[in-house]
Amino acid sequence: MNNMNDLRQIDLNLYRVFAVVYRERSLTRAAEILCLSQSAVSHAIGRLRQSLDDPLFVREGQGVMPTVVADKLWPDIDAALNLLRLAAARSHDFDPQRDITQVTIAMNDELEPSLLPPLVAHLREQFLHAPDSNATLSNTTAVPISSVRLDRSNLRADLAARRLDIAIDVAQQVSPDIAHAALASDDFVVVARQPMKLTRERYFAAQHVIVSSRRTGRAVEDMAMAKLGFERQVVLRCQHYEAACKVVAASDCLLTMPRRQVRLSSGLAVMAMPLALPDLELHAYWHRQRETEPALIWLREQLFQALQT
């Protein structure tokens, strides 16, 4: 038989190009990642178009968007390439320095100061003391890490398309094909310009600064307070804890924050929360299709170990 069902007619390199273009939505970025010229990427997609009898990608703005057929093909192509990766990984012992070229983790901006330093420090220890390690003091993580802003509305698509390896966020309801596990938990503390005897009455009589990555809506701690029948007066919404702490230092406002963020409150008084709130839980999220990938298993383990110390 001389058709696409014959494995001799399938060029796996074309599907590898398809996968990168699908994830990146850009021929230019795909060419950079694959270390190919843009014309070579265009040629590969052109050959697939002929084989599959579909345009696969159409131009939109500065990039490209997949067609309906490309969207239907993607899950199977991604699964097939993933099986090949697993087969290759099983042929030798997994080595993150050799087998991982890039790690992309999504999180909200305000989490970076408390999550990235312990992760980098943990990886530094892992690689500097590993047998036959190639890590040096100038390259101590050995694995390049990219922290990007979390987009909850596109989380499922970003994980499925491998634009993200893992996401870190507070506990959220997610689709069944997204796996998640508790990564760390943190209690809340209150910071103020000066020490005080912080009673519940004084807390709710004060004005408050909150930190949220969203433009509107209640902060996590406000949702917890509402369930207990309490509401506080919020006068300022910030994007980052560092900015919020500076506002508190120059005002009589209070800031309620996870204990993990306290190091940003240098010079401020740190007090216990006068109301019992559930701990803030951070979860790691990943796509179930990648559950058994050695690289993803390794990454999850490093995150758990780094944030439990």
Q: What is the mean pLDDT of residues 247-272?
A: 92
Report the pLDDT value the prediction gives residue 72, as an integer from 0 to 100. Answer: 92
Indicate the burial class of 68 (C-beta count within 10 angstroms; 0-12, 13-18, 19 or more). exposed
List of residues 6+ apart from 246 with CB closer than 8 A = none
What are the structural domains of the chain? 7-90 (1.10.10.10), 97-185+282-308 (3.40.190.10), 188-278 (3.40.190.10)
CA 276 from chain center: how many Å? 30
State the pLDDT at residue 45.
94
Instruction: State the pTM of this model.
Output: 0.68
Residue 34, pLDDT above cutoff 90: no
pLDDT of residue 136 exceeding 50: no
pLDDT digits (tens, 9 = 90+) for 37-57: 999 999 999 999 998 999 999
Q: 212, 108 in Cβ contact below 8 A?
A: no
Residues 255-285: b if buried by 16+ CB within 10 A, e if exposed: bbbbebbbebbeebeebebebebeebebbbb
pLDDT of 9 above 90: no
Q: Within 10 A of 290 (CB to CB), how many other CB atoms are there?
A: 21
Choose among 301, 295, 288, 302: nearest CA to 179.
288
Confidence of residue 137 (pLDDT cuts 50, 70, 90): very low
Q: Which is more confidently placed, 213 or 107?
A: 107
CA separation for the pair 309, 302 (Å, rounded): 11
> Which own/partner contact pairs does 43-48 have at CB distance under 8 Å and 24+ positions apart?
44/13, 44/14, 44/17, 44/18, 45/14, 45/17, 45/18, 45/21, 47/11, 47/14, 48/14, 48/15, 48/17, 48/18
- pLDDT average, residue stretch 186-209: 96
Dist CA 176 CA 258 (whole Å): 29
Whole-number mean pLDDT of the chain?
86
pLDDT at 5 > cutoff 70: no
Q: What is the pLDDT of residues 292-308, one digit of tens each?
A: 888 888 889 999 999 88
- Which residues neighbour 80 within 8 Å (Cβ) at sequence distance 6 or greater? 15
Cβ atoms of residues 215 and 169 within 8 Å: no
Which among 285, 293, 303 has a CA at the least distance from the CA of 180? 285
DSSP, collapsed to helix, strand or coil, labels residue 82 as: helix
For the chain, percent of residues with pLDDT exceeding 70: 88
Residue type at 264 in one-letter notation = L
pLDDT at 131 over 90: no
Report the distance separating Cα 5 and Cα 209, nearest Å.
Answer: 62
> Does residue 138 carry a pLDDT above 90?
no
More confident residue, 93 or 167: 167
